Amino acid sequence: MNLKKKHAFFNLIWSNHVILFPKRHNEAVDDLWTTGYKIEENVHQQGPTALTSSQAWATYECYNPRYSCNGTIKIYMQIPYKGTESEPWESRAKQASIFPNDVKAELKALIRLNHAGCSSAPRLLNWKMDKQTEAMPVPGGYVVYIVTKQLLGEPLTNLAKLSQWERRSILIAFKDAYMECYECGIVSDEKNKSNVIWNEKMRKWFVYGFMLDNQIIEVC
């Protein structure tokens, strides 16, 4: 997949943006999350002759005042084909498509890991699939919100500088995290170093990337 960052579809209106998640059968009120700092944004924009829709996705820090809880929200949004961004909304609305399989697969992986109680994957806090309004890039197109619990840690980049004992200890911990996901039927994408973070205090790896049904899935 060709990733580009030339056009930012997640502009300033997405910061401090309140997102409502309708209450579920076991909840009394709606769930509200407010976005904060934008961690990253990626764009996969194709031309009008492409067989699949174009898509942008961004990751934000977020906060739930009701539970005083910090989280991470990943937003997937269909975007117009390259060169059609300035067309009237009625024209862009004709590009609207259904939710893509890779997003459905990501949710499937997270739900499976959470149901299994996997401690090495982000905890899924809420999610919803919605349609874009007339003021958004592709009216009627999909927009998907996935909220996970904020995990503390960072990619480990200095492994080669550590002692042999420390490297062995860290690699054993990585194997434990990998196998915990594997036993849930999910394979982590360990080739992408940004998809795993190391929590030094807990001496534990957390996995953000998964492979499900032969697809590489970036979770956060």
Whether residue 6 lies inside any domain: the answer is no
First to last CA, the chain: 17
The string of pLDDT tens digits covering residues 102-123 is 888 888 889 999 999 999 988 9
Give the total number of structural domains in the chain: 2
Statement: residue 199 has pLDDT above 70: yes
Q: Write out the residue range of the structural domain in which residue 163 sits.
A: 159-218
Q: Is there a contact between 208 and 196 (Cβ–Cβ < 8 Å)?
A: yes
Determine the average pLDDT of the residues in 115-137: 93
**Tens digits of per-residue pLDDT, 62-82?**
999 888 889 999 999 999 999
- For residues 193 and 136, give the distance between their C-alpha atoms in angstroms, rounded to a whole number: 33
Q: Among 99, 131, 149, where does a domain finish? A: 149
In this predicted model, what pLDDT tens digit does every residue of 158-186 receive, in sequence order? Answer: 888 889 999 999 999 989 988 898 888 88
Contact 158, 79 (CB under 8 A): no
Sheet holding 142-149, edge to edge: 18-21, 31-44, 54-64, 69-79, 142-149, 124-131
Share of the chain above pLDDT 70, in %: 86
